A and B are shown apart, each in its own frame.
Chain A
């Protein structure tokens, strides 16, 4: 008897997880927002809320000496803005750059992308193309394997918005 109750409650939990995931895929209606995990991406929120949700109150150090954030200062087309992030830090199993987040402050979805790296990468480098809705600060937030958070930001002037969605 006890076994069947455990099984039932386990199934119930799985169901809730499934619903949360499905809601996330559907553009996150307001009801799903409360259930979203702290690591969820793609929520419509302000950048302050987003950073608070993802990183909690953890202190962030100024990493502008270590982080090379390559992004054009003026983006004529906000729909395609190339971003490269390179971190001047070791990539060994003992100490490496674990995660690189790209954050665009004024986008409707400010937490744009997250890259998770392994020491096999040899170098902390990622690049992608992002959308920017309007002139905004773009930040890179770097989490190292010991939990240290570093951040650097640059302003990008956007001539034609790409509607970050």
Chain B
């Protein structure tokens, strides 16, 4: 499990036409650690590892940026829309609180 942190799957439609608004879904393997409390209910103070920022770009331009908290699920999935103007890459970058940076890309192909 631990070795899989940062594994990303991106799903895009298999083909698109110019001008279509398409939806992209991506999933990252990440523990998104929750705040822990000790027996007295006090918060255990440490650097919890969770994703704070997800950046999605298409053709090098940002489309959607997500800012996250620990209220987001483990192995989170994100969806967003983009307007397909030309064939090209969608890049999704995840940044977590332990300095981890994970990136993956998928290509939008035109029919």
Contact = CB atoms under 8 A, between A and B. Distances in A.
A163 B69 CA distance: 13
Interface stretch (B1-9, B73-81, B101-109): B73-81
B67 A122 contact: no
Contact of B35 (A25, A27, A115): A27
B35 to A, nearest CB: 4
Interface string B44-88: 011110001000001001111111111111101111111100000
A33 interface: no
Interface residues of B, number: 35
A165 interface: yes
Interface residues of A, number: 41
A122 B74 contact: no
A117 B80 CA distance: 9
Contacts of B43: 27
Contacts of B67: 41, 113-116
B9 to A, nearest CB: 14
Interface of A: 25-27, 29, 41-42, 79-82, 84, 91, 104, 107-118, 120-131, 162-165
Interface of B: 21, 23, 25, 34-35, 43, 45-48, 52, 58, 61-74, 76-83, 97
